[in-house]
Amino acid sequence: MSDQDKNGFKVEFKKSGLTAHWNLNVETLLELAEDAGVAADSSCQSGTCHTCLVKVIEGTFDYGENDVFAPESDDEILICSAVPTSNMVIDV
Ligand code: FES
C-alpha cells in the first residue's frame, strides 16, 4: 500500500474521546495517538512487550514490514508497530 492510500484515515481514540487523521508525519498509531494528546502506554516500541496492546473496536490495520509478536486476535492491536488500513476506532 502506498503512503497516499493510507493518508486521511480517521482514527478515533474512544476512551480519550479524541480523533485524529492518519498522516505522513507519523509512522505508527502510537505516534498518532501521542500527537493527538492520547495518554497511551508503551515501552519497547518494537512489537514485543505488549504494553501498548489495545482493543480494536472497528477497522483494519497492518504491521507492514515490522517484525512484531502479534496478538492472536485481530481484535487487539499493538499500536506501537501498526498503521491503519481503514478508518479505525480503538479503545485507548
Ligand atoms: S510498546 Fe511494546 S509491543 Fe508496543
Pocket test for ligand 1, best of 51, 61, 63 (most atoms within 8 A of CB): 51
Give the start-to-end residue ranges of the domains of the chain. Answer: 3-90
Per-residue pLDDT tens digits for 1-25: 444 445 589 999 999 999 999 998 9
Residues 29 and 90: beta-carbon distance below 8 Å: yes
| Those residues with Cβ within 8 angstroms of residue 50's Cβ, 6 or more apart along the chain or in another chain | 69, 71, 78
pTM score: 0.90
Residues 62 and 1: beta-carbon distance below 8 Å: yes
Question: So what's the architecture of 3-90 in CATH?
Answer: Roll (3.10)
Per-residue pLDDT tens digits for 39-87: 999 999 999 999 999 999 999 999 999 899 999 998 999 999 999 999 9
Ligand 1 site residues (CB inside 6 A) read: 42-45, 47-52, 78, 80
**3-state helix, strand and coil shares in percent for the chain, rounded to the nearest 5:** 15, 25, 60
CA of 59 to the centre of ligand 1 (A): 20
